[in-house]
Structure 1
């Protein structure tokens, strides 16, 4: 079950485009506790980057941040002009539906998200995480939330359980 394609080491980063880089920094750094590890980048009038991203006349500001074992690359494009933002896009629509973040304390992260005024689809059912013999937690729980721009993310607390494996 541990089959990987030759040369693939793992997921390096996930990219997300947002309309407000400052709000995105607040979300990733202040609310989720991500760490910015490299200098942010900006570009415009760069034919090479245009080819890489498949756009003409692209211009953007960007930053990378680390959440545990993965990095998030966040872009605010100033060109070309984007379609209007749909903050209620359904997770059933084609494309990436969400990113899942494994957390140490689901209740604490959920509280921070709610305090920031971010939408939570349903509060997590914490009764599915129990404390067994020797004080070890068992089970898992999670819920879907949305960032300031409607991007869906899942927060999960996972302990020893056959249904889902922790990272």
Structure 2
């Protein structure tokens, strides 16, 4: 079972590596990031993984409302966020809007990234569960993000359970 002070970083890093290895079109920028994922430069694309929150739980995935028994829930649940972001189409030349061809190509790439991300995350979490590295996991709905600030992509969140220590 993954444990220790870097256990949540370890989970995030394994998911980042799994997604990066699965993406057909790998972005130059990729890694585990602290806190909210900033869309500060998507000119070459970006794969970012972050831990959004961690909380104690006695019954996965439900947060422990108050200390009970020995004052400590036996589990921690971490919410892992995985985003693959690409450049959104922009107006070209004298047009005030992107071409339908550019929009279509963007939609195709976002759909491919989303599929490959879901495949990689679900496969890696299943492997981690089967090998006993994690206790339980739950995938949340994958959501298309943007376009915003010239970027568009998808976000997948997963809840993962590890023993408290």
Length-normalised TM-score, structure 2? 0.28
Higher relative contact order (CA 8 A, sep 6+): 2
* Greater helix proportion: 2
